[in-house]
Homo-oligomer: A and B are copies of this chain.
Amino acid sequence: MKVLVTGFDPFGGEPVNPAFEAVKLLPRTTAGADVDILEIPTVFHKSIEAVVKRAEEMCADRILMVGQAGGRFEITVERVGINVDDARIPDNEGNRPVDVPIDPDGPAAYFATLPVKAMTERIRSRGIPAKVSNTAGTFVCNHVLYGVLNAAAKKGLPVKAGFIHVPYLPEQAAGKDSVPSMSAVTIAAALEAAVEAMATTGEDVKVSGGREH
């Protein structure tokens, strides 16, 4: 099994992106799967293209995309990507779309095709805070999740794909007031657990990971 794990470059004025800082620490083999990593630009559309290109080149069976969720407490495994860009801040090339569909011909949403519950459970079993999230936002993170699932569906690729959001690093939180953080080593351990679950789980487990709102 071949797994592609991507992480964004820094954006929004941050000097680092905890996503790629942690991705860099991943072992290249996990649970029998070959793991390839890739830093992708925090740019609308170019991010999708970068993931799809590499996934096709390496014939990836699984794609795990990772992004920063500044302000979140836990590792969050995303359930769904929606067909809209609505940017509060510009991306790294100055694009700031507002209420524009990612693909005007695409469906309203795609559910992640990775086993989100099994991944979440596996991370928590390692003593690391994790939960399922029902929104990846409306910026480049949601964009690349939706876009890669859309490309896989349209091209009929057998790949399964999903997204994990990670908190700020302590060094990022040190300059802010009372925001949660997680060390790169802890985040990397969570990602490794997620890759294990991705590589070894067939159908997802049926455990509640829902929320009232």
Residue in B closest to A209 when the chains form the complex, CB atoms: B86
A144 to chain B, nearest CB (A): 12
Within 8 A of B (CB), among A131-184: 131-139, 141-142, 165, 169-171, 173-174, 176-183
A32 to chain B, nearest CB (A): 26
Copies in the complex: 4
Does A210 sit at the interface, judged by CB under 8 A?
yes
A109-145 toward B: CB 8 Å interface, digit per residue (1/0)? 1110000010000001001111111111111011000
Q: A82-B134, A170-B186, A207-B98 are in contact. Are A213 and B139 (CB under 8 A)?
A: yes
Binds B, one of A22-30, A52-60, A70-78: A70-78
Count class of interface residues, chain A: 35 or more
How distant is the Cα of A185 from the Cα of B171 in the complex, in angstroms? 14
Chain B residues positioned under 8 Å from A127 (CB to CB): 169-171, 174
How distant is the Cα of A176 from the Cα of B137 in the complex, in angstroms? 19
Residue in B closest to A100 when the chains form the complex, CB atoms: B206
How distant is the Cα of A208 from the Cα of B99 in the complex, in angstroms? 8
Interface-centre pick from A98, A165, A204 (highest chain B CB count, 10 A): A98
Chain B residues positioned under 8 Å from A141 (CB to CB): 212-213
A58 to chain B, nearest CB (A): 27
Does A31 sit at the interface, judged by CB under 8 A?
no
Residue in B closest to A110 when the chains form the complex, CB atoms: B108
How distant is the Cα of A170 from the Cα of B138 in the complex, in angstroms? 26
Evaluate contact between B186 and A98: CB separation under 8 angstroms. Answer: no
How distant is the Cα of A179 from the Cα of B124 in the complex, in angstroms? 14
Residue in B closest to A140 when the chains form the complex, CB atoms: B212
Does A3 sit at the interface, judged by CB under 8 A?
no
Evaluate contact between A109 and B80: CB separation under 8 angstroms. Answer: yes
Evaluate contact between B210 and A88: CB separation under 8 angstroms. Answer: yes
Does A10 sit at the interface, judged by CB under 8 A?
no
Evaluate contact between B179 and A181: CB separation under 8 angstroms. Answer: no
